[in-house]
Chain A
Amino acid sequence: MKRRILSIVLALSMLLAIFTLAACNKDNAGEISDFNFDTTKEVKIVFYHTMGEALRAVLDKHIVEFNKLYPNIKIEHSQVGGYDDVREQIKTEITVGDQPNLAYCYPDHVALYNVAMAVQPLDGLIGATATVTRQDGTTEQVGLTEAQVNNFIDGFYNEGKQFGDGKMYTLPFSKSTEVFYYNKTVFDQNGLKVPTHWWCGDACPAGCDTSLEYVCARLKAIDPNCIPLGYDSESNWFITMCEQLGTPYTSATGEHFLFDNESNHAFVKKFREWYLAGYVTTQELSGGYTSALFTKTDAGRCYMCIGSSAGANHQIPKDKDTGELLFEVGISPIPQANAAAPKVISQGPSVCIFKKKDNQEVLASWLFLKYLTTTVEFQAEFGLTSGYLPVLETVGTNEAYAAMLAQADGGFNLPQLATKVCLQQEKAYYTSPAFNGSSTARDEVGKLMQVCLAIKANANVDQEIKNAFKAAVDECKYQAG
């Protein structure tokens, strides 16, 4: 009996110890105020990204350049996997205070890290007027000059302040967007026009030949064994439609999940009709990137494809055996709902800096990030290698970059063509609000799209759409709550 009591006491005291242990926490460094960087002391910083081998080579090359200016900053960088892997890795590292200094990020990642208040706001750094003398004797201002800020493409730069608290947390690194790929050969043969809007409505006369719906119907009539359109990302589709139509999707403040509304039900219902008619498929519904359907020539092929501009090299229709081009590809901006206010998603990584106890680490990270994002040579070379869009307006002044753009065609130089199209729609880029739960919303509307498209032909469509929307909102609330 005595022993039993003893063991209970022991167990209780263990539990107590654990609770107290849990109560003491690591202290987090706050906003930094001292912007003087010590160029004599060695600092090591860690950068997580998703770059493949070729891009790492570009990065390494420019790290050498950077180290000529700041030999005391040692940069360790590693490819952690995909974007989700970076997020998962960092998320768990934050819990033990072991996060890197810099990382590739999407806005929702930042919102997630900020549950632990782990991300360094950049406003102080951007505005810092302190100067630092570099190894080659030149000096630079720690913060961004006005010219540097203006050189960023606005839509990309503003993504850093989408967090509802007015603070800036990220700098854009390299970007991509969605473009409309089409089989130019088949379009020309059949006298089809490139669609500029989704469907016929108030804005255009019924039966006009520039609506996507019309083109789908024509293509389906020409080749019944085709799926005219492949839309890669269900999530992007939903969110972009909300943006284009001006209907609520999410909000960073107040009630977050606003996408369950009549007008959103309506466009989803419309697209379900398209799906039932065999007009469209998506990545999830077809089981792979739709570029595969676009580049093949047998049953189940697509003649149009809305996908990432960075994936243009996958849209080149090469013959498997001979390597010859099977047809010519055209690229244009995606269809719009409102020609006056075009909207297209801005995707691709930004970079955030994590708070660290050592001020010098934060400053070193900032100087490195600033170097990468404001140096035209790096941005151009990175863009050339990756197919992603540089974030600077003046990148065209780079000779190599300009020469590359000049080569653009609808064949093997498709990536260049994609870039060219993207650079012309600079004003249309949007990013959706970021908050803790925004990635859930993104995932859920993607799933919602799948669910609604797959509603059976004989079902009570309106009711099922309503249920699916409600389920999606509930899921978001549960995940975010």
Chain B
Amino acid sequence: MTAQNITMQEKDMSRVHARQRVMKIAVQVGLYAFLGIMALIVIFPFYFMLISSVKSMDEYRQTVQTLWPRDIILHNYVDAFKTANLGTLFLNTMYVGVVSTILSLVITVLSAFAFARLEFKGRDAMFAALLATMMIPGELFTITNYATISAFEWKNTYTVLIVPFLVSVFYIYLLRQNFLQIPNELYLAAKVDGTSDLKYLWKVMIPLSLPTLISITILKMMGAWNSYVWPRLVANDEAHRMITNGLRNAFTDSTGDVNIPVQMAAVALVSTPLFLVFIFLRKYIMKGVSRSGIKG
């Protein structure tokens, strides 16, 4: 009797377990289905860009568009490269991106260090004031800055694309938050040891906040890659033209029917470097962006 009871209970239990397991599987299936659909939606524009970029104009203009190109026309990429003169644009953008990233990192590290580790009068007030400037629409700066750089005779130089945006309050803020997480004891110990600030910065703080620095690097490079309004205004000569401007110019000045496949090929070419960087440094970008984000 007791033995029977026990087996009954066991059976019930296992039934419950089974039901729970089924539920769990169902939930997991549901989760994957939802995420899968969302992922498809997110990724679809890229897919569309890629398939369109290898279609012929005729195929693109079919009443019902094909989801897989009939003929793969890689020549669109050659056309795109030539039409938009992407070679020069890539080089210009790389140059501006690399130089401004390096300079920006130096400035950001020094400032963040001062705000995070050094004590000086008016520090908090100044930091607050800096943060306040982040709320101001950047567009507001454009007209005055244009006058300023013209007065400096910087127009149509690389300088004008690099210098005005070297300081980003946002990056200083990100890095300061990161520096603050490093235990103060380390700094005190270093002070006792007689380590100089700069050495401490180089040996301890920078390695410890490498993910943030890498994310800043990437954000800055992306900034160069994506900048549009400012370069259009101050350096729109062929020698200094940046990639986004070149892309837009190439397809708005064109005579004739906009060749969307070639346009898509150009967009794909412009997007590729960012994706490559992202694929190789994914961890750093995501870590950096999220870590700095939360501590607001």
- Asked whether B236 lies within 8 Å of A85 as measured between CB atoms, the reply is yes
Q: Does A252 contact B (CB under 8 A)?
A: no
Interchain CA distance A82-B236 in the complex, whole Å:
11
What is the 8 Å Cβ interface bit string for chain A, positions 76-98, against chain B (1 contact, 0 not)? 00111110010011001101101
* Chain A residues, CB < 8 A from B155: 93
Known contacts A78-B237, A80-B237; A291/B256 CB under 8 A: yes
- Asked whether A287 lies within 8 Å of B150 as measured between CB atoms, the reply is no
Interchain CA distance A78-B236 in the complex, whole Å:
12
* Chain B residues, CB < 8 A from A89: 236
- Asked whether A92 lies within 8 Å of B151 as measured between CB atoms, the reply is no
For chain A, what secondary structure do more than half of its interface residues adopt (helix, strand, loop), or is it mixed?
mixed
- Asked whether B147 lies within 8 Å of A95 as measured between CB atoms, the reply is yes
Interchain CA distance A296-B256 in the complex, whole Å:
11
Shortest distance from the beta carbon of B237 to any chain A beta carbon, whole Å:
7
Interchain CA distance A88-B142 in the complex, whole Å:
14
* Chain B residues, CB < 8 A from A288: 254-258
- Asked whether A289 lies within 8 Å of B233 as measured between CB atoms, the reply is no
Shortest distance from the beta carbon of B156 to any chain A beta carbon, whole Å:
9
Interchain CA distance A424-B128 in the complex, whole Å:
71
Shortest distance from the beta carbon of A443 to any chain B beta carbon, whole Å:
15
Nearest B residue to A93 by beta-carbon distance?
Answer: B150
* Chain B residues, CB < 8 A from A295: 256
Nearest A residue to B253 by beta-carbon distance?
Answer: A82
Known contacts A287-B258, A311-B255, A314-B256; A92/B150 CB under 8 A: yes
* Chain A residues, CB < 8 A from B258: 287-288
- Asked whether B236 lies within 8 Å of A92 as measured between CB atoms, the reply is no
Choose one: B150, B236, B249, B257; the contact of A96 (CB below 8 Å): B150
Nearest A residue to B252 by beta-carbon distance?
Answer: A82
Q: Does B90 contact A (CB under 8 A)?
A: no
- Asked whether B255 lies within 8 Å of A291 as measured between CB atoms, the reply is yes
Q: Does A292 contact B (CB under 8 A)?
A: yes
- Asked whether B255 lies within 8 Å of A96 as measured between CB atoms, the reply is no
* Chain A residues, CB < 8 A from B254: 288
- Asked whether A96 lies within 8 Å of B151 as measured between CB atoms, the reply is yes
Nearest A residue to B143 by beta-carbon distance?
Answer: A92
**Residue of B58, B254, B256 contacting most chain A CB atoms (<10 Å):** B256
* Chain B residues, CB < 8 A from A85: 236
- Asked whether B257 lies within 8 Å of A88 as measured between CB atoms, the reply is no
* Chain B residues, CB < 8 A from A291: 255-256
Shortest distance from the beta carbon of B79 to any chain A beta carbon, whole Å:
12
Q: Does B81 contact A (CB under 8 A)?
A: no
Q: Does B146 contact A (CB under 8 A)?
A: yes
What is the 8 Å Cβ interface bit string for chain B, positions 31-70, against chain A (1 contact, 0 not)? 0000000000000000000000000001000000000000
- 19 interchain pairs (CB within 8 A)? A81-B236, A81-B249, A85-B236, A88-B233, A92-B147, A93-B150, A95-B150, A96-B147, A98-B153, A287-B257, A288-B256, A289-B255, A289-B256, A291-B256, A292-B255, A292-B256, A292-B257, A298-B58, A314-B255
Given contacts A79-B237, A298-B58, 6 further A-B pairs with CB under 8 A are A81-B249, A89-B236, A95-B150, A96-B147, A96-B151, A311-B255
Contacts from A to B (Cβ < 8 Å): 78-82, 85, 88-89, 92-93, 95-96, 98, 287-289, 291-293, 295-296, 298, 311, 314
